[in-house]
Amino acid sequence: MPLICLVRHGQASAGADDYDVLSEPGRVQAAAVGRELARRGLRDPYVVSGTLTRQRDTAQLLADAAGFERPRHQDARWNEYDHLDLIARYAPAPGRSSSTQDLLDHALSAWMRDPAATDANGETWAAFAGRAAAALAELSAGLGRGRDAVVVTSGGVLAALCATLLSLPHEGVVALNRVAVNASVTTLAVGASGTTLLTFNEHAHFSGDRRQLLTYR
> String of b and e for 133-149 (b: at least 16 CB within 10 Å)?
bebbeebbeebeeeebb
Tell me how far apart the alpha carbons of residues 124 and 132 are, in angstroms, rounded to a whole number: 13
- The pLDDT confidence band at residue 92, using thresholds 50, 70 and 90, is confident
Share of the chain above pLDDT 70, in %: 98
Tell me how far apart the alpha carbons of residues 56 and 63 are, in angstroms, rounded to a whole number: 11
Tell me how far apart the alpha carbons of residues 170 and 158 are, in angstroms, rounded to a whole number: 13
pTM over 0.95: no
Looking at residues 128-137, what average pLDDT do you find? 97
Instruction: Give the rounded distance of the alpha carbon of 32 from its chain centre.
Output: 16
Write the burial class of residue 214 (CB in 10 Å: 0-12 exposed, 13-18 middle, 19+ buried): middle
pLDDT at 145: 82
Q: How many CB atoms lie within 10 A of CB 64?
A: 12
CB–CB of 64/96 below 8 Å? no
> Which string of DSSP letters, residue by residue, matches 57-111?
HHHHHHHHHHTPPSP-EE-GGGPPP-HHHHHHHTPPPTT----HHHHHHHHHHHH
List pLDDT tens digits, range 17-29: 788 999 999 999 9
List pLDDT tens digits, range 30-84: 999 999 999 999 999 999 999 999 999 999 999 999 999 877 899 999 999 998 8
